[in-house]
């Protein structure tokens, strides 16, 4: 697939998550609620996580923000559901690496649709939009640990 086609595909994946967000809403019986904002624009996310026996049983989000932040939250919740918390943290590290334009060893990490955001690394002003949900997840899990 050419780079142009890949860009188009990635754009479609991002817009699909923005227009049809997965896991949007509140989680009943959530064990963790993390409220985080992007200091550069003030947009916020509330992330709800249900963590049981070291595993992310469920993840949902609320909040308002740009297409990148909201699609990233949708992709992130999709990616971490059902994963051990250590894997969720590793995924977040890999996502940050991807945002820095570094190569990610994808063998042991499945970022899923979130890989569609790799082009954001070329726009430093938008990186905080893309990492907002991931940072919220990291904060929640680290506090839980
Ligand atoms: Fe606010 Fe992207 S512009 S999160």
- Mind giving me the DSSP string for 7-57? HHHHHHHHHHHHHS-TTBS--TT-SEEEEEE-TTT--EEEEEEEEETTEEE
Residue pair 57/102 in contact (Cβ under 8 Å)? The answer is no
CA distance 77 to 81: 6
Q: Is the Cβ atom of 37 under 6 angstroms away from ligand 1? A: no
Number of Cα atoms under 13 Å in the Cβ half of residue 105:
3
Query: Is the pLDDT at 1 greater than 60, yes or no?
Result: no
Nearest to 66 by CA among 99, 40, 94, 98: 40
Domain 3-144 has CATH 3.40.50.170: no
Nearest to 55 by CA among 85, 10, 75, 28: 85
Q: What digits encode the pLDDT tens for the residues 53-104?
A: 999 999 999 999 999 999 999 999 999 999 999 999 999 999 999 999 988 7
Q: What digits encode the pLDDT tens for the residues 105-130?
A: 666 568 999 999 999 999 999 999 99
Cα 35 versus chain centre, distance: 14
What pLDDT, on the 0 to 100 scale, is given for residue 5? 75
The alpha carbon of 66 and the centre of ligand 1 are apart by a number of angstroms equal to: 5
Q: Is the Cβ atom of 136 under 6 angstroms away from ligand 1? A: no
């Amino acid at each position: 697939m050419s780079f142009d086609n890949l860009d188009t595909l990635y754009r479609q994946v991002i817009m699909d998550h923005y227009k049809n967000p997965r896991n949007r809403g509140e989680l009943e019986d959530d064990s963790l609620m993390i409220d985080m904002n992007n200091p550069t624009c003030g947009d916020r996310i509330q992330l709800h996580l249900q963590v049981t026996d070291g595993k992310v049983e469920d993840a949902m989000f609320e909040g308002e923000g740009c297409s990148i932040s909201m699609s990233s939250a949708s992709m992130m919740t999709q990616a971490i559901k059902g994963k051990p918390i250590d894997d969720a943290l590793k995924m977040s590290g890999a996502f940050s690496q991807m945002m820095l334009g570094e190569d990610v060893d994808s063998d042991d990490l499945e970022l899923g649709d979130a890989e569609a955001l790799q082009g954001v690394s070329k726009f430093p002003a938008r990186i905080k939009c893309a990492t907002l949900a991931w940072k919220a997840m990291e904060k929640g899990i680290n506090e839980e640990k």
